[in-house]
Amino acid sequence: VIKCRAAVAWEAGKPLSLEEVEVAPPKAHEVRIKIVATAVCHTDAYTLSGADPEGCFPVILGHEGAGVVESIGEGVTKVKPGDTVIPLYIPQCGECKFCKNPKTNLCQKIRVTQGKGVMPDGTSRFTCKGKQIYHFMGTSTFSEYTVVADISIAKIDAAAPLDKVCLLGCGISTGYGAVVNTAKVEPGSTCAVFGLGGVGLAVIMGCKVAGASRIIGIDINKDKYAKAKEFGATECINPQDFKKPIQEVLVEMTDGGVDYSFECIGNVGVMRAALEACHKGWGVSVIVGVAAAGQEISTRPFQLVTGRTWKGTAFGGWKSVDNVPKLVTDYMSKKIKVDEFVTHTLPFDKINEAFELMHTGK
Contacts of 180 (CB under 8 A, 6+ apart): 206, 209, 210, 316
pLDDT at 10 over 90: yes
For residues 77-83, average pLDDT: 98
**Closest listed residue to residue 30, CA positions, set 104, 107, 126:** 126
Provide CATH 3.90.180.10 ranges for the chain. Answer: 2-169+319-360
Taking alpha carbons only, the member of 114, 129, 148, 142 closest to residue 9 is 142
Give me the pLDDT at residue 329, please.
98
- The SS3 assignment for 356 reads helix
Q: Spelled out in words, what is the top-level CATH class assigned to the domain 174-314?
A: alpha beta
DSSP letter for each residue of 216-264 = EEE-S-GGGHHHHHHHT-SEEE-GGG-SS-HHHHHHHHTTS-BSEEEE-
pTM of the complete model = 0.96
Supply the mean pLDDT for the chain.
Answer: 97
Domain with CATH 3.40.50.720 in the chain: 174-314
Q: Tell me: pLDDT of 292 over 90.
A: no
Task: State residue 288's pLDDT score.
Answer: 97
Q: pLDDT tens across 137-192, in order?
A: 999 999 999 999 999 999 999 999 999 999 999 999 999 999 999 999 999 999 99
**What is the band of 271 on the pLDDT scale with cuts at 50, 70, 90?**
very high
- Quick check: 233 and 195 in contact, CB under 8 A? no
DSSP state of 155: E
pLDDT band of 361, cuts 50, 70, 90? confident
- Residue 350's identity, in one-letter code, is K
pLDDT for 112: 97
Q: Give the pLDDT confidence of 180-222 residue by residue, as tens digits.
A: 999 999 999 999 999 999 999 999 999 999 999 999 999 999 9
Beta bridge partners of 217: 193, 236
CATH of domain 2-169+319-360: 3.90.180.10
pLDDT at residue number 163: 97
Give per-residue pLDDT as tens, 234-250. Answer: 999 999 999 999 999 99
Q: Where are the alpha helices (DSSP H) in 148-197?
A: 162-165, 171-177
User: Is 93's pLDDT higher than 90?
Assistant: yes
Instruction: Report which of 88, 112, 254, 107 is spatially closest to residue 170, judged by C-alpha positions.
Output: 88
Q: What is the pLDDT of residues 21-66, one digit of tens each?
A: 999 999 999 999 999 999 999 999 999 999 888 899 999 999 999 9
